[in-house]
Amino acid sequence: MPSRDFSLHGAIDLGARQAAARKQQERRTQGGGGAAPAADAPGGPYVVDVTDQTFNTEVVERSQSVPVLVDFWAEWCGPCKQLGPILEKLATEAAGKWILAKVDIDANPQLGAYMQQMGVRGIPFVAAVVAGQLLPFLNGAAPEPQVRQAIDQLFDALRKEGILPDAPEGEQPAPGAEAPAEPVFSEAEEALQRGDLDGAKAAFERVLAADPRDDQAKQGLALVELSLRVRSLDPERASQEADEKPGDVQAQISAADVEMVSGRIDDAFDRLVGAVRRGAGDDRDAARKHLLSLFELLPPDDPRVGKARRGLQSALF
């Protein structure tokens, strides 16, 4: 089913991955080597097969100039074989207005694990990546008219928000796009590529120890910590337990984490504001602190943060 929430405010920011990948590519180029480009998928030039090694180049960096839809699939998945050809057809019709990137999760375990860290448990699953921001988009197969309508609605909504890439065909890099990556982000990227979330967390913590005001490191650390928490959770069970135990603060915190990785930002914030309002003592403080930690995942001026801060103030006083 299509996601109703097409805003990229609070979507998963892939900027750290992009910066680190660019720095690593520069080192490989200087050393005379280079990563092989991803091979075109059967759908033609607007459909590419993406691997663990080419994701940053083919998806994250490319999304700075053109939207990319990422189709997570597997050979054994029947619904994937229904949705895949529809997406390939629509990508060909779009003729470069957006690109379809196909990820075989069996052949690319790192990307498969990353999908699970976002709270996704089933395929087919499609994410939209725009300007380095990843947004959960489609869960499950659907008929062509419904898929076509969902894609049109997605791009209409993003266009209204003014967040679609707007670079001319001559390719003007975004301001600051060529800035070299900080060593810590290269280190964090290498850890993420290994699936070492603890290593990535330690790398971001070292930057913040040196500069507590580094917003990019704060956001990277918050995302890694969220991924560490949700990787052991069953999304359906977490939501069910939270509904059954409204007074259990830990259940509310777990459910809020699942909602965050699913892109349901307002739901997560509202849940924790409610926990603060109902709670007392240590439970109330735990819910408050967790809500503040989730704010680190979004830009400070995000309207959702402002709304949640006002709700938190009302709940506290």
DSSP class per residue in 216-262: HHHHHHHHHHHHHHHTT--HHHHHHHHHH-TT-HHHHHHHHHHHHHT
Residue 212: asked if its preceding bond is cis (omega within 30°), the reply is no
- Say which of 21, 69, 77, 118 is annotated catalytic: 77
Contact 6, 157 (CB under 8 A): yes
- Annotation says 55 is catalytic: no
Rounded-to-integer distance, Cα 189 and Cα 183, Å = 10
- Say which of 14, 48, 80, 242 is annotated catalytic: 80
Positive or negative CA dihedral for 137, 139, 140, 143?
negative
Quickly list H helices, the chain. Answer: 15-30, 55, 78-94, 109-117, 144-161, 183-193, 197-210, 215-230, 235-244, 249-261, 265-278, 281-295, 303-316
- Annotation says 215 is catalytic: no
Rounded-to-integer distance, Cα 76 and Cα 107, Å = 12
β partners of residue 26: none
Which residue in the block uniquely carries the two structure tokens 């999908």?
115
List active site positions. Answer: 77, 80
